[in-house]
Structures are given as C-alpha cells and as structure tokens.
Structure 1
C-alpha cells in the first residue's frame, strides 16, 4: 500500500512539474556522478553501480526526446578516469562499447533520428571502444533531430589547449595572423561534436562543480547549472524536470534583467523620442512583471 501511495504521489508531482514548464533547453549536458558511491552504500561491486547508471542514461535519452531537447552531451569518461583501477576501467569500456553498439542498432534511436558522436581524446581508448565509436557514428551520421555527444577521454582544459596549439601553429606557418584569430577560429579547432552552446548542465551525486566539462560551450553561454544529491543510478524523471525548471527560472530572470537595463538606457538618453523609445521597449516589456509594464505604459502616455 505504501509503495502505491508513493507511486501515485510521484506521478502527481511529475504532472505538476510538466504543467509548470513552458519550454525546454536546447542543449543539456550531464555529469553522471555517483555510480561508485551508489554501489558502495549498497554493499555491491562498483561495476554494478556503473551498470545501473547505464540504464539511467537510456531513460534520460527517452526523456529528452519526449521533451524536445535538441542536443545532449554526456560526460561518460574523463581523462582523469584513466587513473582508476584497471578492472573498473575495463568494465566501463565494456559498457561503453556495448551501449554504443546497442544504441546504433536500436529502432528507437533511428525512429528519433539520433546522431551519435564521441568527443575527446578517443585515440587513447582501447581499440574495441574506438571501433564501437566508428560503428555508432557511421550508423547515425545521416540524422540531426537529436544530437547525442558522448564525452570519452575528455578534458575541457585539454580541448582548449589543443585548440590554442593549433591556432599557434597556424600563425607560425603564416596561415593566420594574430588579428585573424576570433571566436570562429577557436571553435573550428575544438572537438567535433557539440553543434550549439550548452544551456543547462546537470550534475548528480551532491558535488557542486562542473569538473572541467565543456568550458567553452558552457561558460561562454553562462549555462544554468543544476546540482542534485541523488546518485546517477537514482536520478529520476522528476529530477530532470526540476533541472529544466531551474533553467527556465534562470532564463526568466535574465530576460527581466535585460529588460530593466534597456529601460534604464532609454530613460538615460537625453531628448529620446517617445515613439522610438516605445519601439525599443516593446521588444523587452513582456519580460517585466505586470506592475512594471503598467508603470511604463503610464509614463509614456503622460509624455504624449
């Protein structure tokens, strides 16, 4: 009986969260943390935690497809993870190989038109994993409805350092001048994979840090972050919906701030013509609370 009540409460809360959402982020990046701690607290082998975490990853892709997310980047294996015991590394490599091949052949992946890419220093991975990457990328290369980037042997600093070295070599070879170096110059030399900036970073497991993950794509876009305590195998759909709600609240706050700055700027311009000011503010006023919108309207009506 208790389980049934809990299930009903969970379903009701999920419906409430869905009702509260008005949109979704375009690009979600996920740091899947806590697999080993999950296993340790349950007295089972760490490999069990990674296996159950892989099941959560499959569920996440279903949620993203259902909600209309365009791109997902998963932090599956960092460059620091090479320091883990060999048996743990091998189990993770086995899981990655298996999941890549399974996803590449799955009807739901093809029905959802998911394009799979790996980002990172993939030449550091075992040959069997590299073969699985090639297989998954080739099988899904024609799709673009949902982009799935799997970060393997990935480190954000290494990515930026590699791009910086490539730029320096191009300048040294006379292919570029320092004045030619801009945002596009750097982006062309990053790992091939993400097609847009990150809107939302989700990290499970209780730690509140982004661990060198997608610094160019996330920090440059001032991505929203959502940290939660459940370990990755425990992460549920309601946790994901709460993460998206955090993103929406941040976006609403950002739009309001931008609207207030625009209003201050217009008021500060001497002799600004009322019609011109209205045109500028018309682009931003809907982001303001109703009381502020009414005050603006009254202000410019009095100016007529």
Structure 2
C-alpha cells in the first residue's frame, strides 16, 4: 500500500511539473555521476552500477523525445577516468562497446532519426571502443531529427588547449590571419564534431560542480545548471522535469533582465534623440522574447507621444 501511494504521488507530481513547462531547452547536457556509489551502497561492484546507469540513459532518451529536446550530450567517460583501477576500466569499456553497438542497431534510433556522435580524445580509448564508435556514427550519419553526443575521454580544459594550439599553428604556418581569429575559428577546432550551445547542464549524485564539462558551449552560453542528489541509476523523470523547470525559470529571469536593460537604453537615448532610439530599439527587438519586444515597442511609443506633446 505504501509503495502504491508513493508511485501515485510521483505520477501526480510528474503531471503537475509537465503542465508547468513551456518551451524547454534545445540542448541538454548531463553529467552522469554516482554509478559507483550506487553500487557500493547496494553491496555491488562498480560495473553493476554502470550497467544500472545505462538503463537510466535509455529512459532519458525517451524523455527527450517526449519533450521535444533536439540534442543530448552525456558525459560518459572523462580523461580523469583513465586513472581508475584496471579491474574497473575494462568492464566499463566493455559496457561502452556493447551499448554503442546496441544503440546503433536499435529500431528506436532509426525510427526517430537519432544521429550518434562521440566527442573527446577518443584515440586514447581501446580499439574495440573506437571501432564501436565508428560503427555507430556510420550507421546514423544521415539522421537529423535528434542528436546524441557521447563524451568519451573528454576534458573541457584539454579541448580548449588543443584548439588554441591548432590556432597558433595555423597562424605560424600562414594559413590563418590573426585578424581572422574569431569564435568560428576556435569552434571548428574543438573535439571532432561541433555541438550547438548548451542550454542546460544536469549533474546527478549530489556534487555541485560542472567538472570542466563543455566549457565553450555551456559557459559561453551562460547555460542553466541543475544539481540533484539522486545517483545516476536512481535519476527519475521527476528529477529531469525539475531540471527543465530550472532552465525555464532562469531563462525567464534572463529575458526579464535583458528587456529591462533594453528599455533603459532606449529611454536614455530618447531623451537626446528619438530617431536614434527608434533605430536602436528596432535592433534590440530582434533579440528579445515576444513579450519583451512588445514592452520595448510600448516604451518607444510612449517616448514618441511625449515628444509630440
């Protein structure tokens, strides 16, 4: 009876959260933390925790499809993970290999047009894992409906250092003019496959840090971050929806601040030159939400009426 009540409450809360959400993020990135601690608490070995976490990963793909999320990046294996004991690494590599082949052949992947890509210094991985990566990428290369990025042998600081070195070498070789170094020049030199800017980072397991994950695409985009206590194998749909709600709350606050700044700027310009304020306001409207653009237009109209009077 008690379990039934908990299940009923969770389902009700899930429906409530779902009704509260509007347009969610396009790109969610997840740090899947807590697999080993989950296994240890159950008296099991680390590989058991990783296998349980893999089941959660499959559920998250379903939730992304349901919510219309277009891209998902999973932090599956960091450069620091190479320091783990050999007895833990080999089963983890086996699991990564098996899951890559399984995803690449899964009907749901092909029915939903999922493009699978690995990002990271994958040459450091065992050949059997890189072969599985090649297979998964080839099998799904033509799909565009949804993108699944799997971060393997990934380190954000190392990614930026590599890109900086590549830029420096291109300049030294005369292939790149220093005046042409821009965001695109750096982004094209990041790990293997470029990804879109990250809107939301979720980290499970209780630690409140982003662990050098996607610094270019997340920090540069001021991504929202949601930390939660459950270990990755325990991560639920309610937890996922809470993360989406965190993104929407932060986005609403950010849009509010942006609108307030735009209105303040137009107001300051209008006190000197109304035509210039209108020109600036026209450009700013394109960067605001519909509500923000309407508020800015109302301010311009008010300034115009005051000038006419």
State the TM-score, normalizing by the size of structure 1.
0.93
Match of 2:41 in 1: 41
> In structure 2, what is the equivalent of residue 247 of structure 1?
247
**Structure 1 gap segments, 5+ residues each:** none
Residues 35 and 232 in structure 1, CA contact (< 8 A), matched pair in contact too: yes
> Whole-Å Cα distance in 2 between the matches of residues 166 and 109 of structure 1?
34
Task: Tell me which residue corresponds to 2:218.
Answer: 218
CA contact (8 A) 1:255 1:287 kept: no
| Partner Cα distance (2:103, 2:290) in 1 | 43
Q: Deviations over 1:99-147 (max 9, x none)?
A: 1000000000001100001111111111110110011001000101111
Q: How is 1:221-232 mapped onto 2 (pairs within 5 angstroms)?
A: 221-232=221-232
The separation in 2 between residues aligned to 1:48 and 1:208, in whole angstroms, is 24
Other-structure match for 2:17: 17
1:8 aligned residue: 8
RMSD: 2.3
TM-score, normalized by length of structure 2? 0.91
Which aligned runs of 4 or more in structure 1 are off by greater than 6 angstroms? none
The equivalent of 1:77 in structure 2 is 77
> Post-superposition shift, 1:47?
1.3
Q: Counterpart of 1:98?
A: 98
Specify the SS of the correspondent of 1:43.
Answer: coil
User: Deviation of residue 301 (structure 1)?
Assistant: 8.7
Q: Which residue of 2 aligns with 1:190?
A: 190
For 2:99 and 2:142, the matched residues in 1 are separated by 19
Q: Which residue of 1 aligns with 2:87?
A: 87
Bigger Cα displacement from structure 2, 267-276 vs 173-182: 267-276
CA-to-partner distance for each residue in 1:174-221, whole Å, 9 max, x for gaps? 111211211111111111334311110000001111101111111110
C-alpha distance after superposition, 1:59-117 (max 9, x if no partner): 11111111111111100000100000111111111111011000000000001100001
Tell me the distance in 2 between the aligned counterparts of 1:286 and 1:137: 38
Equivalences for residues 122-161 of structure 1 within 5 A: 122-161=122-161
| Cα separation, partners in 2 of 1:300 and 1:37, compared to 1, 3 Å | same
Per the alignment, residue 201 of structure 2 pairs with 201
| 54 and 282 in structure 1: CA distance in 2 versus 1, 3 angstrom threshold | closer
Range with bigger deviation, 134-143 or 262-271 = 262-271
Paired with 2:160 and 2:146, the residues of 1 have a C-alpha distance of 25
Rounded to whole Å, the distance in 1 between the matches of 2:246 and 2:165 is 37
SS at match of 1:98: helix
Aligned residue-pair number? 302
User: Residue 276 of structure 1 is aligned with which of 275, 278, 281?
Assistant: 278
**Structure 2 unaligned blocks of 5 or more:** none
Find the aligned partners of 1:297 and 1:155 in 2 and give their Cα distance. Answer: 47
